[in-house]
Amino acid sequence: MRRTYQTAKYLCLLGWSTFVVFPFLWALSTSFKDANAVTSGATYIPWLEFEPSTKGWQSLFSSGSQGINIVTPFINSAMVTLIASVISLILGTLAAYGLSRYQFRAGFVKNSDITFFFISQRIMPPIVLAIPFFLMLKEIGALDTIAGLVLVYIALLLPIAVWVMIDFFGSIPPELDEMAMIDGCTPIGAFFRVILPNSVAGIVVAGMFCLIFGWNDFFFAFILTFTKTQLLPVAIVSLNSSVTPWWSLSAFALISVTPLALVAVVVERFMSRGSLAGAFR
């Protein structure tokens, strides 16, 4: 009975793993094909079923009519994501700490309402803000620039940072702050000298979520940039709508998802230690 159960369990785990991994393996295999290999039907194993070619990978780094430049979109994506994440983390951590330690009151607005204002931004469908963002950025001349995108991405990422950090600070006992202040710290000093060094785990988790959502956003980058500041997801979709060279497409896709796929390893490590539990409630 127990044996059958174990076998069934592992079969299911392997089945799901295959489903998860298959698109990546397919992309890897396709990235080494040429036009002939692609149009002759689905094949999987290089050398055995088709003659591998590195054309797809070369085209990503060469310029000219055959080339697709991946370097510039990659740098753009990295810059926008990193800058917006860092700003969101700084602002979000401060706000979350304030909300978890102090009482705010303005008329009928209380702490929980302010927290809700932050977190509820996740409900907002991007399309609702798309047109006003477009007109707003056009007005200040920030359309199709990195600065404009960073501004929009802060609105996207700040709620995530606040949400994760509020729960995290909730798990740090307030006595810690009080002790620091008895020792002569100002409230701001207590935060920077005592609380912040104890919050690395929470900040890492919040930072990872900012990176994931920033790096993977397509919609705003698609609407608010044209040719000067192209991000990775937009670049690959514009590639898709043209003649569709599957080999370049696949190589491009693999390069753009690899950096964050590595984040999965870090997330797993945190989860095993139970550090994520406090972040989700």
Measure the CA–CA gap between 188 and 186, rounded to whole angstroms.
Answer: 5
Measure the CA–CA gap between 119 and 72, rounded to whole angstroms.
Answer: 33
**Cα 157–162–166 angle (5° rounding)?**
155
Measure the CA–CA gap between 96 and 118, rounded to whole angstroms.
Answer: 10
- State yes or no: residue 272 binds another protein (CB under 8 A): yes
What's the residue count for the chain? 281
**Cα 14–18–19 angle (5° rounding)?**
120
**Least Å distance between CB 62 and another protein?**
21
Q: Closest Cα to residue 239, out of 229, 216, 247?
A: 247
Q: How many helices (H) and strands (E) does the chain have?
A: 14, 2
Which of these segments, 10-18, 52-60, 65-73, 196-204, binds another protein (CB under 8 A)? 10-18
Closer Cβ to another protein, 52 or 119, answer by number = 119
Binding to another protein, residues 12-31 (CB under 8 A):
12-13, 16-17, 19-23, 26-27, 30
Binding to another protein, residues 247-266 (CB under 8 A):
249-250, 253, 256-257, 260-261, 263-265
Binding to another protein, residues 57-76 (CB under 8 A):
none
Q: Which amino acid does the sequence have at 272? A: S
Residue with tokens 């002759």: 40
Closer Cβ to another protein, 25 or 200, answer by number = 25
Among 158, 166, 194, 203, binds another protein (CB under 8 A): 158
Tell me the per-residue interface mask from 195 to 224 with another protein, x by CB under 8 A, - otherwise: -----------------x--xx-xx---x-
Are residues 119 and 184 in contact, defined by beta-carbon separation less than 8 angstroms? Answer: no
**Least Å distance between CB 66 and another protein?**
20
Measure the CA–CA gap between 205 and 31, rounded to whole angstroms.
Answer: 33
**Least Å distance between CB 67 and another protein?**
19
Give the tokens for residue 145.
């620039």
Residue with tokens 């698609």: 222
Are residues 92 and 162 in contact, defined by beta-carbon separation less than 8 angstroms? Answer: yes
Closer Cβ to another protein, 5 or 64, answer by number = 5
**Least Å distance between CB 108 and another protein?**
16
Measure the CA–CA gap between 33 and 165, rounded to whole angstroms.
Answer: 46
Number of residues counted as binding another protein (CB under 8 A): 90
- State yes or no: residue 181 binds another protein (CB under 8 A): no
- State yes or no: residue 80 binds another protein (CB under 8 A): no
Among 60, 94, 185, 196, binds another protein (CB under 8 A): 94
Residue with tokens 């620039």: 145
- State yes or no: residue 188 binds another protein (CB under 8 A): yes
Q: Closest Cα to residue 219, out of 140, 91, 95, 130?
A: 130
Binding to another protein, residues 97-156 (CB under 8 A):
97-99, 101-102, 104, 114, 117-118, 121-136, 151-152, 154-155
Binding to another protein, residues 40-59 (CB under 8 A):
41-42, 44
Closer Cβ to another protein, 69 or 121, answer by number = 121
**Least Å distance between CB 35 and another protein?**
11
